[in-house]
Each structure stands twice: as structure tokens, then as C-alpha cells.
């Protein structure tokens, strides 16, 4: 395990429970962080030099939870040293880097997985199941809102920080690939990256996606609407209960005035159903899946390719945003640049 | 009163209560609609020929609730016949038409008012009071969601149907004028107007606005976030109570890890306050204001100029949407075209 | 129609739409109230002397929306004059009176209906359908909360004002009859009737019901929980949507620690389903049903007998409340007293 | 620390962070549970014989998280061995036992504290502050609902399991002492303790309290209403945000019809304010307070006396429940029995 900052402790906790802390080695640049980790997991080996982990033949796999700018270098070295790699999202700082990691993992026959954690939640897996089972009919739109309480970052803009979650969910849930992006946004603090952004993502046909991400909201919101010709979904990750609601009716072509009136005064036009959602911690499922893929030499659900697809959109959105919404086509063949 | 379709009965009911139904004359092309109106208001005069109303010297003012494509012609004739005019939103089908009505009203010294009804709700008036009183500090963004349940229209797209409400609210609440628009959207029914749209509206400086309008949502949503440097507002028109919530804290520049952690797990960082909102029916307030402006020869809060500003954005957004988000500058001097 | 106070106008409006205002006669003691009614319904006959209505051979039926203390006298006279009677809830001020009305209606073969309006809502009809269809399994409890915002009455206590609604719903929904009542409550204004009350209603077996009614709450609440061995219902009348939610699981006898833990941290243990609810105005359905029963000589769903059963519990609860919860047995054969 | 079942691990975790795990000794009857604890806290001493802890002169204080039937014996021995004692709620199985513990602690000058954990939450402390600061005016009622999802216990009824929380909060928040109890409830599983119960608690004057506790609800609810002559509080422990809402208006004596109508259609009659709540873990605050009281020889906020007051009501309520609500007077001088 490399990196014990904000997210690393969650990974360590889950790896400790899945494979045992005595099987773990941790590196971090900060001796203080290592001391904290050591207190919780006395059986775990620690070092400030991650090169030791990469060089250690007993180390089979490397999990990387360091700043995004370092993902590519560390992951590439790890792959070249014959390690399987789990890297935090986004997989790399550019699509060129992401493509490079995929190429290396393929060539060296190592597992390359990206930590698209939301994909491993019960809610998102249920949504994927409903969409893949064609319960929604033709998908018309994917609309999500992910807004936060003024927690600014200085290294990346809000798209790279928050939209990465929604893009990884969308990549998993929808069957089709996007072809272009138009994004707008701005920064409210001089010299800082954009803290509010709106992404429209175009697909072939009439499917459209839109993300609203914002570091500066009065309330936390996590809501996704998925509209289909047969059914529609409201996915609210903050609901203690009923995270996924499925609504029976899509478009109402019926134009008789009475039913039109009922829709005007009413709130919906069919039954609603909220399936029970598996509440297993997503990171536990993710870590277990990583171990499973190594043992069985299988491709992870969130392999390097999904990491690349997400980074392509992040890049294109940042480009479009700097030009006030000018559309940027997505090259789905190679790296964006 | 001209037009007794969906909205007309609400206007008639309020005019009947404010000035008395015996002072009302109603015209509609449909004798059936007139018969219905007559049953409710036997003292009201009715006709299928609105020209009679325009020609009648006893008629002081005309309220127009007809399809938007007819607004300009009827309103212009009414003004030229010396009538004061209240016209439903949007004021006209083009900014050129809107400018023409303003010019005529100014020249003929008649009251020209547009039915931006939300401006007359207790909630929006309270928000305006808070913003104008500088309670929010510098305004950073205005973000609204107005989505409906599959009630399609065939004559106009969803921007002209739904965004017109948010634009009229925004025009009333914010002090500054927008300078450009980028919009995206699509139609999911072949040959029909766009049923989903996203508008980003740029202002001078870093203020940004965004509207999401959608005819095809599983649930009805009416939520606006207004972010300021000092306070933020959540305005949810569907809350039975607490339509307007004011949150104490804006950006948190404090970066100490403990408070950062609390924001990550918490939901907000200051007190919240939900002022009591006047629940008087907005249309009653609007109709009363129209009568008042006629009697006192005052300019209405929602005069022709606000109608024009809103139509300019509607036009620019439709243009931008047809070009997948290409920015369209707003000419704030004259008509858009 | 006798009585044009708070509720009367709603009845008149619905009768006007169902049978036409020209077929209506209205009496009220106040000429001012009659003038208001006349303005809205010029074709309706009005009088300050309700005796005229009772004496008029053209009047087939009488609807009574006067203070509860007058229900018995007016309804009895109406029945004796050969009229069918719809009387507002509660049907009478005592169970003896209620029994008297039933006896008279039976003897004179007239329709006697009580305005248990909630029984005619789409939500309550859906609940009844679910319970009667044995979807919930054995019913374990019925728990309702109906609290208001400081609207005190001087003539009756909060049980007679608010619990009457819940008792009428319960009477309609549950198959079994209650056998005893224990109630507590108090008044917070000297000399005024109790403004807060709690009723426990015992049935044969382990079924138990409980009502919380309160005139002095900070928020309006209208929530009923119905627990069954197979499914449970949450009925929240204030939800714009999803008024009736059905939960899949009842008691969890499974005691394995993992599932127990999930219940501790989770919010439920099965699917939830919110059926679409008919949104027709309840009073319209009620008035239509009254007319139907007269035409077809049928017994109403909310006949005098349901009115009597509700009044018996109201009486017993008031008695128990005055003795701090001492249980009062319900005589289900005759009048309470 | 004695007992490492459901609650013990939470206590150990907090003690480990407040005083360090090397200063902790743990006993539990199960070697398996001790092994789990040892894995997490290798520096902590463990034993299956709690007598060792009581006999150890280095042990200053004992925290007891064992079944309630054992509280009295263990706590009494600990006090007699000169230890300070923190005992989980309820403090003992009877009021006689609770009084015995208080007497022993007083005589031996040891700290005796009961784990009324809710008292140490930010929400309850804020409510106490508002009540004690006379912000609510005269308190009229305290109404709470605490319902769960089918998690049955076999050793105690639902009152001892759930109402103990509300009683401990009420004891802390309200200034006055209750004088009588009327409770009703039932069991829906043959041979099992009551799983649903309703408690009315009478005070001198018109203050009244009511608790609804239920193991068999379709949804989890945790809501308390506190009504005062000046302000009212809604405390919802399940709200991510806004756990405590303060409403401006209490009783509305104003009887003008217009304001009455607004209350009928509206949802409240004044401003609402949701103060920010300290989100520090309650158990951390509780453990810190226990350590503080030992060091400073101070009486805890939740000392033995509060434990006794709560047990008195639990006893009285169980008595009353077995007699279908017959009122049971509370002897506030000595033990109940």
C-alpha cells in the first residue's frame, strides 16, 4: 500500500480485513502518518521509501492512494516490477498516461484496476442490473448533481475531484459510449481552479448526460436521474433508505385533458418501487474483487480501460470549460491529446 | 380578458375578486369555454370576438392569456386602442416583438406588464429582499432545476415553457445583467421540440447561472440554489413549509484538518434559518399590482423591459442549443436578432 | 344544504358540480354567509330558515354542516320529514343520539350517511384494499399521529376535533372492532378543552391502536403506521407523492448476528413499494356516493353505524382521559352511556 | 472494562483514544471476544475473570457493559473495592438496586456514572441549553417516537430497551420531575416481552410527556417534539442535518379568521431556525467526562441519581402496562417498590 493520506486508511482497513494486516506493507513519505498506521496495525510493515515495496519479491500487488500527478509513475514502475496494481481514481493525470498503463499491464499480463469505488456500491450495482436487464427501455438521459460544502482543492478543479465519481458510475451503468462534451464553469477564488462546473455529454442518437458539480453549495446533494422510455430511476445516495427509486412510467403520450390535468397537479403517474439495496461497504467489495482478479487472472470490472474512458471525458470537459462550452469531440480510439 | 384556456380561468378568478366580475369582459374563440366561464361568473360579459373588447371605450385594460405566437399582435392592438396591457409570459415570441411592445407602451403612456407570476410569490419576494439587502454578500452562482412529469408541448420547446419561469425569477432577484449563454439539450420524440435542456448563463465577473429544465422527469423538482460569499439560499418551491432556507456560511477558507474532516462527514457548517413566507396567492398580488399601476400611472415591477430581457435569453439559449453549446453573446442594448 | 361555515362551501361546490347548483337550496343563520354563497351560485336558492328546506317537498335530501351539538336535532327532523341525510362528522354529540338517528333512518327507510371524508380518499381506499386483500397478514397495530398548529376550538376537545378523522379511517380499514380505550391528555389553556391527547385502543387478541392528536404542534404531521405480520404500511397524508408506502418485511425472527447488525445500521429489511394513488377529490367521491345511494336505495360505505362506532370511542376516550388513562370498556351492543 | 458484547467495543475504542489502550484492561466471559479485542488493541490486558480487575490495585475505575441483570452486583463489588464506576443504561434492574448503588458510591466517595449517552450528543446539549435558557417559555409537552425495525430482545421489554433513551434525555432536558405514569402496550409474539408500548408521563401542572417505542416498525423513526409557550422544538436524530429545529411560535390565541385560515392551509406560523450542532461523537464526550469527574472528584452530569430516576419510570411504566394503562404514582422520595 502506497499513500496513507485521506483515503489510504480506508484501503488499509479493508485490506487488513480481507487478507490480514500481517500480509500488508505500507509506505508513506510522512513518518507521522506511518506511526499512526502502526498504532492501529502493529503487524503491518511500514517504510517511507515506496521503492522498497516495489523491489520486494514478496509483494504481489500494489495499491496506490497518492496524489493523481504521481499515479502514472508509481503504477508504471509497479507493473514493470511485476506487481498487480490498484490505483485510485482518476487512474492518471492524462489519457496518454492512462493508455500507457493499460498497454503496460496488457503486455506484462498484470491486473490493472482503478478504484471507481461507487461501482461497487449496492445501489449502483442495482441500477446497472436494472439498465442491463432492459427494465428502463431506451435510455433518454442521465442527469446527476454532486455538490459539496466548500471543500476546495488546489491541485485539480472540481471536475477532476467530483465529476470523476459520476463519470465512473455512468461508464458502468450505460451501454453506449459518449462522443462529445460541452462544459461550463468558473472559479470564485482568484488563482484557484474552477469550483463549479456543468458538463453536457453527447452520445450517438438522442441520449444525453449532464453533470453538475460544485464545491460551494449550502447543502450536500448526491442525486442522479436516469430517464428511460419505460421506467425512470432516482438515485439519491444521501437517503438513509430508498437510495434507488424506480418509477413506472416514462413519457406520457396520452393527451386527454383529464390525465394532463392530473399530471399538472400531481407528482407522478405510476407506481414507485424501491428495491432493497445491499449495504456491504463498497470498498470491501472492491478490495475483495481486486484479490479475486489476481487469484483468477481475471479482468476487473473497473479495469484500466474504464479508467481511460473516464479520464478522456475529464480532459475534454476541462478543455471545453476553458472555452465557455465549445463542444469537444471525444476520440474514442486513442488518447484525447 | 382575452383567452380562457389553461391559465385564463386563474386570471379571471383573481380579477373577479379584485375588481368584481361585473367589471369583467371575456373573449375566447371557443363558445364552449365561454359557456363554462359564464356558469361561474354570470355577471361577466363574454364574446368570441376579442375585437369587441378592444373597441369598447369602457374597457380600460386588457389581460392576454393566449398562445405566445399571438401575444404581439393582440397586445399591440390593445395598446394602440389606448388600453393598458397585462400579457402572459413570455411577453412575445421574439425580442424584436418585445421591444416593439415596450416602444408602443412608452409612446402611448400605457401600462405594459408581463405575467412573471413567480415574482409575486412570498418566497421570491423574500429572496429578493435578502439579496438586495446584501445579506448574501457577493453572489457567486444561481442554479435552478425545474423538471416535470412528461407533459410535452408541441408549439414551443422546454426552454420557452419552463426556463421562462426561472429567468423571470433570476431577472428579479439578481442585480446584474447576463452577457452570454451556452445551452445544450435534445428531443427524445422525433419531430418534437427539445424536451430537456441545460442553460449556462454568463455574467461579467465570476457570477454564473445554470438552469436545468426537463419535461420528462420521474419526479417533479423545483429547486434553486443561490450561492453568495456570506450566505447561501436553498429555495424549494415544493416544500409545504420552509420554501426558503438561508445558510450561514459560504466558502470555508479555513483549512485546518479537523474542520475539513467535519465538513466531509457533515452536511453544513453553520446555522440555517427558514423565514416565514407570505402565502398570499401570487396571482392575486400580481393582479392587484396591475390595477395599482394603472390607477397610479406607475411602472410595474414586471414591466415590458423585464419581459424583453427574459425573451432575449430564451432566444439566445435556443440558438446555442441548436449548436451543441456554442456560446451566444447577449446584446443588452437592442433586440437579439 | 344546511350550514355554510368552514366546511359547507366545500360541500356546496361539490354538490353544484355533481347535481348542478340550480338543484341546490342552502340555509344558514347568517345573511352575510348566504350573500357570499349567492355571489358564487346565483342559481341556488337560499334562506336563513332551515325549516323551509325541511318542509319543502321538492327537497329530497339534506346535507348538514352545522356545529356538532345541532346534528341530532336537525338530522332527526330531516329524516322524519322524509329526507335522506348526509351529516358531517362526528355524526352526533353522543352515542345515544347516533343510535337514535340510525333507528329513525332504518324505520323510515331513508339513507343516513356520515361525512367520514378520509374514507373517500384514494390513499385510504388503497390501504383498505391492501388490508382486505390480506396483503399485510395478521394486523399487529395501527398507529397514527395527527398534529396541528395551534388552532384551538372552544366547543369540543382535540379528540372530537382530530381523532374523529383517524377513528373513521381505522373503522373503515380494520376488520375487527375495538373493546376498550385508555386515553390521556391535558389542556394548556385554563378553562379550555384538552388540546393534546393520546388514545390507546384495545382489540381482542394482540391488535392495538394508538392515536396522538395535538392542536399545539410546531409542525403539521399526518402519519399512520400499520404493522402486519407480512407487510407494513406508512401512510403520510402530507407527502405530495408516495402517500402510501408498503414495506415488504414484518417481524424478523432471524437472529443471526450479521443480519441483526444490518438492521441496526440500516433502515429497513425489504423492498418498498408506493402504489399510485387516485387523486380525485375525496369530497367529490363522497357526494357522488351519497347521490348514488339515494338513487339505488343502497347503504352508504359510511352509514350511521360507522358514525356510531366512531362516537362510542370518542365518548369512551374522553371519559378515560378525565381519569388519567383508566381503561373504559366499549359496549359494542348499544350506546355507550 | 467489563463486557465486550454489542456496546463494549465502542467504549473500549473511546477509552483507548482518551487514556490509551495500554492503560486498559478488559474482561469478558468469551475468549473469542477477547481475541477479537486483542487483535485491535494488542497493548490491552485481557481476562475472562473480571474479579481480577476488581482486585487489581492499579485499576482505578470500572466500566460495565454487561447485561442489565448483572449491573448491580458488578457495580457494587467495584465500588466496594474502591473503584469508580461507569455503568451502562439502565443503571440497574430495579430502583432498589439503583438506590443501593447511589448509597454505596456516596458512602465510599466514588464516582458513579450511568451511560446515558444521548445526553452527551450535541443535539441534546443544544436542546437543554435552549430549555434552560428559557427560550421555549413554559414547557407544555414532551413527545417522542423511537421505533425500530423488528429487532426483538428476549430479556427485557421494549420500554427497558428503547424508552430508557428518551427518559434519560427527558430527565436531562426538563427541569421538573414526573409524578405518575400510564402505559399501554402489547406483545405480538407469544411468550415474548412487549414489543410496542406507549407511555404517558404526568407532571405537576399541565406538563405532559409521551413516549412511543416499538420494535416492529416499517421504518426507523427518532423524533421528539417539545412544545413551549414561546417556542417549540422538533428534534429528529435521523436528519443528517438540521437535527434540531426551533419554531418561533407557540400557541396562537389570535382568532381572526384570516390568520386562522392561513394556519389551516399553511404549515407553520413563524420563522424556523436550525442551529449548528456539535458533531463530536457522544461516547467520546461521555468517556472524557467520566475521566474528568474522577480526576476532579466531581459529580457526573449523568450520576447515579439520574440513573435511579429513569429506572423508577421504567418500573412504573411496566406496572401500568400490565394493567392496561392504570395510572401508577411515582414515589420520588425512595425506591419505587
Dump the DSSP string for D212-275. EEESEEEEEEEEEEEEESS-EEEEETT-SS--EEEES--------HHHHHHHHHSS-SS-EEE-
Calpha distance C165→C282 (Å, rounded): 13
pLDDT of residue A265: 43
The 10s digit of each residue's pLDDT in B93-138 is 999 999 999 999 999 999 999 999 999 999 999 999 999 999 999 9
pLDDT of residue B40: 80
pLDDT of residue A250: 56
The stretches of C149-265 forming alpha helices (DSSP H) are 158, 164-173, 257-265
Residue D263 has pLDDT above 80, yes or no: no
Determine which of A81-95, A307-321, B157-171, D10-24 has the lowest per-residue pLDDT on average. D10-24
Percent of chain B with pLDDT over 70: 92
With 0-12 / 13-18 / 19 or more C-beta atoms within 10 angstroms meaning exposed / middle / buried, residue C335 is middle
Interface test with A, best of D149, D237, D240 (most A CBs within 10 A): D240
Cβ atoms of residues C311 and C334 within 8 Å: no
The 10s digit of each residue's pLDDT in C103-136 is 999 999 999 999 999 999 999 999 999 999 999 9
DSSP D97-160: HHHHHHHHHHHHT--EEEE-GGGGSHHHHHHHHHHHTTSS-SEEEEEEEEEEES---SSS-HII
Calpha distance D318→D316 (Å, rounded): 5
pLDDT of residue C150: 64
Q: How confident is the model at residue B73 (pLDDT cuts 50, 70, 90)?
A: very high
* Dihedral sign from CA coordinates of B280, B284, B287, B292: negative
Determine which of A160-164, C242-246, D238-242 has the lowest per-residue pLDDT on average. D238-242
Locate B237 and state its grid cell: 418551491
Locate D199 and state its grid cell: 407511555
B14 dihedral zone (left: phi>0; alpha: psi -120 to 50; beta): alpha
- Ordered structural domains, chain D, with CATH: 8-118+283-301 (3.40.50.720), 120-281+312-329 (3.30.360.10)
- In Å, how far are B194, B300, D57 from B15, measured between CA atoms? 35, 17, 88
Locate A212 and state its grid cell: 453538475
D216 Cα to chain B: minimum distance (Å): 29
Q: How confident is the model at residue C332 (pLDDT cuts 50, 70, 90)?
A: low
The candidate with the shortest Cα–Cα distance to D118, out of D172, D43, D45, D175, is D172
Question: Which one is predicted more confidently, D6 or D321?
Answer: D321
The candidate with the shortest Cα–Cα distance to D326, out of C328, B153, A31, is C328
pLDDT of residue A333: 60
Using the structure block, give the residue that is written with the C-alpha cell 369540543: C156
- In Å, how far are B316, C64, C272 from B211, measured between CA atoms? 14, 51, 32
D242 dihedral zone (left: phi>0; alpha: psi -120 to 50; beta): left
Interchain CB contact of B219 with C (< 8 Å): yes
Residue A294 has pLDDT above 90, yes or no: yes
Determine which of A177-181, B66-70, B330-334, C97-101 has the lowest per-residue pLDDT on average. B330-334
The 10s digit of each residue's pLDDT in D2-46 is 999 989 999 999 999 899 888 999 999 999 999 999 888 888 999
pLDDT of residue C72: 98
**Taking CB atoms and an 8 Å limit, are A268 and B189 in contact across chains?**
no
With 0-12 / 13-18 / 19 or more C-beta atoms within 10 angstroms meaning exposed / middle / buried, residue A167 is buried
C185-200 mean pLDDT: 93
The candidate with the shortest Cα–Cα distance to C155, out of C234, C69, C70, is C69
Locate B250 and state its grid cell: 459560504
pLDDT of residue B241: 77
Interface test with B, best of C35, C39, C274 (most B CBs within 10 A): C39
Interchain CB contact of B4 with A (< 8 Å): no
The 10s digit of each residue's pLDDT in C215-250 is 999 888 999 999 998 899 999 999 877 899 999 865
**Angle subtended at Cα C134 by Cα C128 and Cα C135, rounded to the nearest 5 degrees:** 85
* Dihedral sign from CA coordinates of A216, A221, A222, A224: negative
pLDDT of residue D337: 39
pLDDT of residue C336: 44
Q: Searching chain D, which residue's CA lies closest to the CA of residue C145?
A: D145
Interface test with A, best of C129, C261, C267 (most A CBs within 10 A): C267
Question: Which one is predicted more confidently, D297 or C219?
Answer: D297
Q: How confident is the model at residue B26 (pLDDT cuts 50, 70, 90)?
A: very high
Q: What is the mean pLDDT of chain C?
A: 91
Calpha distance C95→C317 (Å, rounded): 13
Closest CB to D238 among A42, A219, A240: A240
**Taking CB atoms and an 8 Å limit, are B275 and D275 in contact across chains?**
no
The residue count for chain D = 337
D126-149 mean pLDDT: 95
Cβ atoms of residues B198 and B210 within 8 Å: yes
Q: Do the strands C196-203 and C178-186 form a parallel or antiparallel pair, or are they unpaired?
A: antiparallel
D330 Cα to chain B: minimum distance (Å): 40
Q: How confident is the model at residue A267 (pLDDT cuts 50, 70, 90)?
A: very low
Paired strand residues for B144: B211, B224
Locate D334 and state its grid cell: 425512595
**Taking CB atoms and an 8 Å limit, are C238 and B240 in contact across chains?**
yes
**Taking CB atoms and an 8 Å limit, are A274 and C279 in contact across chains?**
no
The candidate with the shortest Cα–Cα distance to B121, out of B248, B286, B273, is B286
pLDDT of residue B259: 53
C169-191 mean pLDDT: 95
**Taking CB atoms and an 8 Å limit, are D219 and A238 in contact across chains?**
no
pLDDT of residue A336: 44
Say how many CB pairs under 8 Å bridge A and C: 42
**Taking CB atoms and an 8 Å limit, are D274 and B272 in contact across chains?**
yes
**Taking CB atoms and an 8 Å limit, are C274 and A275 in contact across chains?**
no
**Taking CB atoms and an 8 Å limit, are A268 and C276 in contact across chains?**
yes
Q: Which residues of A183-216 are buried (b: 16+ CB within 10 A; e: fewer)?
A: bbbbbbbeeebbbbbbbbbbbeebbbbbbbbbbb
Residue D134 has pLDDT above 60, yes or no: yes
Q: What is the mean pLDDT of chain A?
A: 91
Interface test with D, best of A36, A42, A243 (most D CBs within 10 A): A42
Residue B292, H or E segment: helix B282-296
pLDDT of residue C335: 46
From first CA to last CA, the distance across chain A in angstroms is 31
Q: DSSP character for D84?
A: E
pLDDT of residue D153: 82
- Under DSSP, is residue A310 helix (H, G, I), strand (E, B) or coil? helix
C181-201 mean pLDDT: 94
Determine which of B260-274, B317-331, C33-47, D61-75 has the lowest per-residue pLDDT on average. B260-274
Residues 6+ apart with CB under 8 A from B157: B185, B187, B193, B194, B195, B197, B318, B321
Q: How confident is the model at residue D257 (pLDDT cuts 50, 70, 90)?
A: low
C320-330 mean pLDDT: 96
Residues 6+ apart with CB under 8 A from A222: A145, A146, A236, A237, A238
Residue C94 has pLDDT above 90, yes or no: yes
Closest CB to A241 among C267, C274, C279: C267
The candidate with the shortest Cα–Cα distance to B25, out of B34, C305, C4, B17, is B34
Percent of chain B with pLDDT over 90: 80
**Global confidence as pTM:** 0.91
Determine which of A81-85, A269-273, D313-317 has the lowest per-residue pLDDT on average. A269-273
A87 Cα to chain B: minimum distance (Å): 22
pLDDT of residue B39: 83
The candidate with the shortest Cα–Cα distance to D104, out of D88, D121, D81, is D81
**Taking CB atoms and an 8 Å limit, are C272 and A248 in contact across chains?**
no
Interchain CB contact of D241 with A (< 8 Å): yes
The 10s digit of each residue's pLDDT in B177-222 is 999 999 999 999 888 899 999 999 999 999 999 999 999 998 889 9
Residue A332 has pLDDT above 70, yes or no: no
Q: Phi/psi at B81 (nearest 5 deg)?
A: -85, 10
Amino acid at each position: 500500500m502506497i499513500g496513507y493520506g485521506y483515503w489510504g486508511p480506508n484501503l488499509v482497513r479493508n485490506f487488513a480485513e480481507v487478507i490480514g494486516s500481517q500480509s500488508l506493507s505500507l509506505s508513506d513519505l510522512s513518518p507521522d502518518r506511518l506511526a499512526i498506521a502502526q498504532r492501529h496495525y502493529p503487524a503491518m510493515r511500514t517504510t517511507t521509501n515506496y521503492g522498497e515495496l516495489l523491489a520486494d519479491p514478496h509483494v504481489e500487488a500494489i495499491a496506490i492512494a497518492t496524489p493523481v500527478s504521481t499515479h502514472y509513475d508509481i503504477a508504471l514502475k509497479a507493473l514493470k516490477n511485476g506487481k498487480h496494481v490498484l490505483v485510485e481514481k482518476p487512474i492518471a493525470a492524462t489519457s496518454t498516461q492512462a493508455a500507457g498503463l493499460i498497454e503496460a499491464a496488457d503486455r506484462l499480463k498484470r491486473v490493472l484496476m482503478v478504484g471507481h469505488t461507487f461501482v461497487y456500491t449496492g445501489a449502483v450495482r442495482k441500477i446497472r442490473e436494472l439498465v442491463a436487464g432492459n427494465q428502463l427501455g431506451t435510455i433518454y438521459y442521465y442527469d446527476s448533481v454532486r455538490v459539496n460544502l466548500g471543500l476546495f482543492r488546489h491541485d485539480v478543479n472540481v471536475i477532476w475531484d467530483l465529476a470523476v465519481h459520476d463519470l465512473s458510475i455512468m461508464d458502468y451503468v450505460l451501454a453506449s459510449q459518449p462522443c462529445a462534451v460541452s462544459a461550463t464553469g468558473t472559479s470564485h477564488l482568484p488563482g484557484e481552479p474552477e469550483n463549479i462546473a456543468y458538463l453536457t455529454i453527447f452520445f450517438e442518437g438522442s441520449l444525453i448526460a449532464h453533470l453538475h458539480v460544485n464545491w460551494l453549495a449550502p447543502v450536500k446533494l448526491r442525486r442522479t436521474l436516469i430517464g428511460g422510455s419505460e421506467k425512470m430511476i432516482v438515485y439519491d445516495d444521501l437517503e438513509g433508505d430508498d437510495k434507488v427509486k424506480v418509477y413506472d412510467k416514462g413519457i406520457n403520450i396520452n393527451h386527454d385533458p383529464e390525465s394532463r390535468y392530473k399530471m399538472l397537479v400531481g407528482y407522478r403517474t405510476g407506481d414507485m418501487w424501491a428495491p432493497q439495496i445491499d449495504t456491504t461497504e463498497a470498498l470491501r467489495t472492491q478490495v475483495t474483487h481486486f484479490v479475486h482478479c489476481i487469484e483468477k487472472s481475471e479482468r476487473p470490472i473497473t479495469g484500466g480501460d474504464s479508467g481511460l474512458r473516464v479520464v478522456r471525458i475529464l480532459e475534454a470537459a476541462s478543455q471545453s470549460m476553458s472555452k465557455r462550452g465549445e463542444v469537444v469531440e471525444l476520440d474514442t480510439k486513442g488518447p484525447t491529446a
